[in-house]
Amino acid sequence: MLFSLRIEVSLPADVPQQQKDDLRRRENDRAIELMKKGKIRRIWRVVGEVSNISLWDADTLEELHANVGSLPLYPYMKVKVTPLIEHPVTAAWKGQNGDLPPF
């Protein structure tokens, strides 16, 4: 199942810079692991914000929750999850053209 996630990150101002740097490094490492496993399909930064919109794949809601919760910055996140299903235009495209074009 595919999910669109809108994730906003808000670190407290009193978190030392060294800890912020370590959290961001570990966050990137974990996100790359999830990308390699096909769990994070795509991720985009929202311009001017400390937030992102990402496309995730999970077999169950519990799996999605566990994967999002495994991110080091999770305690500082506000996460909005939107389940996605295929749109009829996508099915029509596939019927007429085969695979979708890359994006």
- Hey, what domains does the chain have and what are their CATH numbers? 2-97 (3.30.70.1060)
The distance from CA 40 to its chain's CA centroid, rounded to whole angstroms, is 5
Q: Kindly state the average pLDDT of the residues 48-74.
A: 97
Q: What percent of the chain has pLDDT over 90?
A: 88
pTM for this prediction? 0.87
Q: Is the pLDDT of residue 64 over 90?
A: yes
Phi, psi of 10, rounded to the nearest 5 degrees: -135, 95
Average pLDDT of every residue of the chain: 96
